Amino acid sequence: MENNTILNETITALKGSINNMFGDRDSLEEAMDYANKLARAEGFSEFLMSTAILVYHNSLIKAIIKAIEEDIEKEEQRQKLLDSSIEVEYLE
């Protein structure tokens, strides 16, 4: 459980690094495609570059958070199975 506490604190810190002025994409591939589209835009500016970078950043952070949350869920399920098997051994 201590490990989950550390992971939850990591998630909180990661969420704090999301820039809410910019959006994100559903996947990192979509975020990179978006950045490439902006890079090919006529009159590509520093603002567009910043937008592309921050959209990718937000997408990356959200992907990392999702992976950590999935790991926490798997660990909690594994622990529940372990706990229930221990209870069954005590009953027998």
Q: What is the pLDDT of residues 12-45, one digit of tens each?
A: 999 999 999 999 999 999 999 999 988 888 887 8
**6 pLDDT higher than 80:** yes
Using one digit for the tens of pLDDT, what is the confidence trace for 47-90? 888 999 999 999 999 999 999 999 999 998 998 888 887 666 55
Instruction: Give me the residue spans of the domains in the chain.
Output: 2-91
Cα dihedral 40, 46, 50, 51, rounded to 10, equals -50
pTM, 2 dp: 0.77
**Distance separating alpha carbons of residues 28 and 34, to the nearest angstrom:** 10
**1 pLDDT higher than 60:** no
**Distance separating alpha carbons of residues 24 and 30, to the nearest angstrom:** 9
**92 pLDDT higher than 70:** no
